[in-house]
Structure 1
Amino acid sequence: MKKLFISAIAILGVLLSANAQDALIVNTQGREHVSLNGTWHYIVDPYDTGFYDYRFKERPEKDAGAYWNNSEPKGPTQWTEHGYKAPYNIQVPGDWNSQDHQFLYYEGTVWYQRNFDRPSAAVGKDVYLYFGAVNYEAHVYLNGKKLGMHKGGFTAFNFKIPKELLKDKDNFLVVRVDNRRHADEIPTVNTDWWNYGGITRDVELVMVPEHFIQQYNLQLDPSQDIVAAKKKGKYKLSGWAKMNAPAAGAKVSVEIPELKLKKEFAIQGDSVAFNFEANKIGLWSPESPKLYQVKFALGNESVSEKIGFRKIEVSGKKIILNGSQVFLRGISIHEEIPQQIRRAHSVKDANQLLGWAKELNCNMVRLAHYPHSENMTRVADSLGLMVWSEIPVYWTIEFGNPEVLVKAKKQLTEMVTRDRNRASIIIWSVGNETPVSPTRTTFMSTLAKMAKKLDGSRLVSAALEVGYNEGVNHVDDPLGEYTDIVALNEYLGWYRGTPADCRTAKWSVAYDKPFFISETGAEGNFGFHADKTARFSEEYQEWFYQEQIKMFENQFPDSYSGISPWILADFRSPKRNNPTYQEGWNTKGLISKDGQKKKAFYAMQAYYKKIVDKEKAANNKQ
């Protein structure tokens, strides 16, 4: 365990040291912080005039024409060609596409600006500026000075504010946001979802002492026999903490008040490893999502949050949770509120989306195709929903480009770093539907192995595609050698054939591993009723799932370990342009863009209820 801990910290340090940002501060909610959410001002800048001069060179820091500088004129003769004021207002967090019709299809640069005063709690503290996510490229400036930049539209980042830069009043904060797609970025230019731009998640000022615990992890020790531990009622807990700077000689305490546990550990350098025993822990599961308040302290400062303890593993063709086989009754979700055609971000949004999943009788959700808001994973913790979390290595990434691999590694690290204390997350996914080639397999297997090094306590997977040859559906992607489960996206009956073809389909699986259907689905328009053979009707979508379920149960009786249909709710996609049935929407949702449940929703709900009843009956016999 100690070797694993050192390896993870080493990887984290190497990646973050190469970027103009500070190592991520985890759990800002459990620290002293002030929200900078609310009304900001904006400038739409499609020509990047605020960033480049007329020779298209980056403007010098004090250039009056640079949009990171305050343009308020000090007299009638002062020249200026930019400014921030009403009515050019925009709400943070939130995407810009949904806030004004002029942004509907906009991809490019938008400058965000707001003023803030130094919080009273910041006196004597270090202050960090924290962003939950900005899509895609963010350049951050404070009082005319650049704090740094970040790429990646779905992961958190922060910058330390120099003490001499922070003023008591009217600090002038500017963020240049650019959501343009590029071939050498993650994701690449070609996706099947809406490219919402903007500061899409929370912005906060985080106040911490000069020396503080920056990151930490506590969990059931992955090496223990969980069945034996349950019988004895004694569990091993292990983990680590990383300080923001070396603090040799100091101690970190770990306290779980409900268990009447408090332990101290000496720091070596900037890190410390934990190993201790606990009695009679209530294990986290979908049926009983037990969370414990855990407090980590260094000196007089502490950070606490609710953490659940559970063990997820694979045994042959079975997925095992806390020593018992589990079937993943899943659903795939995009981070979108369809009724308002916007990016989801709040606790209320998370409760809507995950509440729908619970109503469907799910015990698991696939958060596609990127890390979702921290609100989603925290609410999943509390509701008892297992989570598949994924980075947007999607379709046609430049797999032969070493710089793209570095970007993918960085996003993987940021995803794991933020959410490694979420009991709900059982799977780290390194990508979706990537085309098979030796170069791609090297790229993807590198990510899979890195995910294991960063966090060996969870399963690692990727959504693979099916190969068709001589009438047989082959599941033989070489990436499957590196994943813990074989996860497959397949659409037999929608993009190929009809649902009736599921009855005669032949399958071949190359791996002796749990078999999980990470995607399957058909489009269906709410309110369009017809014979089941009519595509885009609710009846066709319902028929599709009925035939798919029979096929999985018949073809994979030993290894079929779960399914996450595509998708919970209709979502916007610029690739879907059927003028009658789509009009820019992917309508594979079990719930319509107006929040109405389709016939397929009730079909899957009944199927999952049947599985729940079967599991309960089996448990009662034990």
Structure 2
Amino acid sequence: MTTTIPDETTSVGTATVPRPEYPRPDRDRSERWLSLNGAWGFEADGAPERITVPFAWETAASGVGRTWLEQATYRRRIEVPASWSGARVVLCFGAVHHHAVVEVNGIRVGEHRGGYEYFEFDITDALRASADRRTDEASSAGDEIAVAVHAPADKREIPHGKQRSIPRDDYDGVSFTPTSGIWQSVWLEARGRTYAQSVAMRGDSLDGFDVRVVLDGDHPAGAEVEVELDGAEERIRLVADPEGVAEGRIPIAAPHLWSPEDPHLYRLRVRTGDDLVTVTGGLRRIEARGEELHLNGERLYVRGVLDQGYWPETGLTAPTVDDLLGDVAWAAELGYNLVRKHLKFEEPLWLAEADRAGMLVWAEPACPSRYSPASAAAFEAQLEGMVERDGNHPSIVIWGLYNEEWGLDWDIPGSPARAEAARHAYDRLRALDDSRLIVENSGWSHVKTDLLDWHYYEPDLGEWARAVGALASGEQETFPVRLGPDFVVDKSLYGSDDTPRTGIPLINSEYGEGFTSLERIWHLRWETQELRRHDRYAGYVYTEFADVEHEAAGLLTTDRRLKDGAGLVPRDVNAETVIVIDLVPRAAGADIVPPDAETTVDVHISHHGTDAVRGTVVGAWLAAYAPLPAEAPHAGAESAEVQAVPFRLSDAVSIAVPTHPAPGRFGLWFVDGAGTVRARAYLDAAEVESANRRGARPGEFPGHAQPGWTRG
């Protein structure tokens, strides 16, 4: 097979390079770098001879569009800039699924297993000698890079997250098109002869950064390292040990903490001889104090959304940097203060934007789907790279590990080996990073965790309200989970009798129901308010941010358009202050029957600000499904005064609901003493049509509706 190998001119200039931006603003070497995104030669049976990097070969954007291709080789020629003479040249890969073997000019420079982690190879010694290259123009030969990739169709024992597998795995119903080959940016960097291969900066002391620099290159042992605070006088000088590791602490005289309200970032300039890298981080501390979460010593309530990070034409890779960063802005617009980035190491650019925007992040690796000692080892093998790449981001406050016992065969309670795999993963991650909270198995069956989180999908809102209350009180420990079309299991929060029942923050990290946009927005309103009703909960994570392929559970469509909310503004549901209504609604679009006589409804205020707030609840009828005005009406029903204390559900107050025999929307506004609207909610009044069952025949469709499928 003869393949035309693109040279560097194919991908020079932003007009022809996809994703041309520098990929690592958090570890900045952008003064001397070269993007290798763009056209590469592609060798695979029955596939086109060219592919566009950095898009997976399954995607339309790659130009290949092949699913279940298992082997391929990428090739391209490069010309290292003459200005890099004397530098060490490092070849960087954002991510390649799953096993990559890299050669330069026929010399094997390294290999990497694991489809989600960043990796790099120093290729200086494999490049053609500088004397063999022209210094004023591109060489006719240049240097050739070859990347041979193996992406097995059978992914069950390798970390693959939401990628579909053949044979299918246990959670195939909630899996998507695979992501194979190079699926994040590829680039070259010029570095010093001895250089900082990695820099860890931890600011959880709140008054300075603990710094650890790992050196590589010519003479790492004993090398001097200077670390200075960009734009300030603080600096330290370190000397690397015999292993090439330099550690120290740079104190900050007047600390400026990072928080969602004030996401202040520091930049550290790390210099070793002729090498310079600028690293970004923040001063912040996340901790569990009993059943409460605290950020920088202040109480934190998580209002989160689950985001799987897929796009219609490009899969796990964002089509443009604007699309990628726009997702952070969308999450904030929807009222969320945290994104649970699900089973995927998202690009450092996205994490850097979360840092800048003050968006909290729950980050987690991909899981395998079947347990074996080998699969557990492969799962843990990701953790060091995860912490090394992403550990400097102050936005990441929670590390997740396994999800819903995936890779543990749904059987932590029944298998000591599987339970030990979860515990061991926790211990391994804790040894790598002691500055964040860790969840060892998200969803249920906890054996060693900093958060008791649970996933629950329940279509009956009355049952949802009952279960949420019983789980909060401790009266109930189990809940039904649909693991397959005909497989419903009662799962427990606890994987063993030794797991503490109290003293750990309790959080729902997946919920949501409904098939239509109207049903989903209805469940969002009522399910979220029930979580806010119970003070024991430390937060929630809604499923989900955007649709993915067949999974239409998002607040946004796959191309990031807000779905019809029938007048609902999601940020009202996810606000710091919300109205909680004492009512079990009847149906989507018809919370109550249109009242033919005046009645009352009891409401509470859930407030998560720093100070108490007083006010009244004002109510008024609007046209059916009309958007709520920002301001409360001057003429309307009004409750007695209510005081909302932070993190305590207020006492109930009653508000009159005037007669309104026609369909309508009864708006509710919580207005403080200064006349400011602090929260909005509503009740829809409409007829509920009886279900049509005329087509049923005796003996057909036995049984009843089951709880919704887990979308974990």
TM-score (norm 1): 0.75
Query: Which of 297, 313, 316 pairs up with 2:287?
Result: 313
Deviations 1:142-166 (A, max 9, x none): 2223222212221111122152543
Report the alpha carbon displacement of residue 373 of structure 1 after superposing the two structures with TM: 1.2
1:414 aligned onto 2:405 = no
CA contact (8 A) 1:258 1:292 kept: no
Question: What is residue 558 of structure 2 aligned with on the other side?
Answer: 593
Q: Which structure has the greater CA radius of gyration?
A: 2
**1:206-245 matched pairs, under 5 angstroms:** 206-220=189-203, 222=204, 224=205, 235-244=207-216
1:102-251 alignment to 2 at 5 Å?
103=65, 105-166=67-128, 168=133, 169=139, 170-180=142-152, 181-187=154-160, 189=165, 190=169, 192-220=175-203, 222=204, 224=205, 235-244=207-216, 247-251=220-224
The 5-angstrom pairing of residues 40-55 of structure 1 reads 40-45=40-45
1:519 equivalenced with 2:510 (yes/no): yes
Question: Partner amino acid for 1:618?
Answer: D
Counterpart position of 1:292? 266
In the alignment, what sits opposite 1:68? none
> For the aligned residues, what is the CA RMSD?
2.8
- Distance 1:354-1:141 versus aligned 2 partners, 3 A rule: same
Out of 389, 404, 407, the residue aligned to residue 375 of structure 2 is 404
Aligned to 1:565: 542
Q: 1:423 aligns with which of 376, 394, 397?
A: 394
The partner residue of 1:324 within 287, 292, 298 is: 298
> 1:314 aligns to what SS in structure 2?
strand
Which amino acid in structure 2 is aligned with residue 446 of structure 1?
H
2:575 is matched with which residue? 609
SS of match in other structure, 1:176: strand
Q: Is the 8 A contact 1:329 1:562 kept in 2?
A: yes
Post-superposition offset of 1:385: 0.7
- Tell me which residue corresponds to 1:443: 421
**Aligned counterparts of 1:463 and 1:354: Cα–Cα separation in 2:** 25
Query: 1:28 offset after TM fit, Å?
Result: 5.7
Give deviations 1:464-492, integer Å, cap 9, x for gaps: 334xxxxxxxxxx242xx21111222212
Query: What is the CA–CA distance in structure 2 between the aligned matches of 1:158 and 1:110, rounded to whole Å?
Result: 20
Q: 1:259 to 1:611 in 2, by over 3 A?
A: farther
CA distance in 2, matches of 1:378, 1:619: 34
Asked if the contact 1:545–1:600 (Cα under 8 Å) also holds between the matched residues in 2, the reply is no
Contact 2:308 2:342 in 1 (8 A): yes
Offset of residue 392 of structure 1? 0.9
Q: Deviations over 1:412-463 (max 9, x none)?
A: 1111110111111111111211122322211111111111111101111145
Deviation at 1:333, TM superposition (A): 0.9
* Distance change in 2, residues 1:166/1:201 (3 Å): farther
Structure 2 unaligned blocks of 5 or more: 1-23, 134-138, 478-500, 579-605, 614-644, 647-712
TM-score of the two chains, using structure 2 as the length reference? 0.66
Change (3 A) 1:250 1:465: closer
2:527 to 515, 525, 548: 548
Paired residue secondary structure (1:427):
strand
Tell me which of 607, 611, 620 is aligned to 1:618: 611
Q: Check conservation: 2:425, 2:440, Cα contact below 8 A.
A: no
Q: Which residue of 2 aligns with 1:15?
A: none
- Structure 1 residues 305 and 146: CA distance shift in structure 2, 3 A: same
What one-letter code is carried by the residue in structure 2 that aligns with 1:35?
Answer: S
Q: Matched residues in 1 for 2:212 and 2:93: separation? A: 24
Residue of structure 2 in register with 1:78 after alignment = none
> What amino acid does structure 2 have at the position aligned with 1:173?
I
CA contact (8 A) 2:58 2:177 kept: no
Quote the offset at 1:521 in angstroms: 2.2
Give yes or no for contact 1:256–1:295 (8 Å, CA) kept in 2: yes
Indicate the SS of the match to 2:128. Answer: coil
Q: CA deviation at 1:293?
A: 1.9
Matched residue of 2:329: which SS? helix
| TM superposition outliers: structure 1 runs of 4+ over 6 Å | 619-622
1:102–1:562 Cα change, 3 Å: same
Query: Do the aligned partners of residues 163 and 39 (structure 1) sit closer, same or farther apart at CA in structure 2, a change above 3 Å counting?
Result: same
Seen in structure 2, the aligned counterparts of structure 1 residues 135 and 314 have a Cα distance that, compared at 3 Å, is same
Aligned residues of 1:546 and 1:603 also touching (Cα < 8 A): no
Instruction: Write the distance in 2 (CA, Å) between the matches of 1:116 and 1:207.
Output: 14
CA distance, structure 2, for counterparts of residue 172 and residue 237 of structure 1: 41
Report sequence identity in percent: 24
Q: Flag the 1:517–1:121 CA change in 2: closer, same or farther, 3 A.
A: farther
Q: Which moved more, 1:592-601 or 1:360-369?
A: 592-601
**Alpha-carbon deviation of 1:91?**
1.4
Question: Match of 2:322?
Answer: 348
Which structure has more RCO (C-alpha within 8 Å, separation ≥ 6)?
1
Change (3 A) 1:340 1:129: closer
Could you say what secondary structure the match of 2:527 adopts?
helix
Instruction: Point out where structure 1 has 5 or more consecutive residues left out of the alignment.
Output: 1-23, 47-83, 227-234, 467-476, 524-535, 573-584
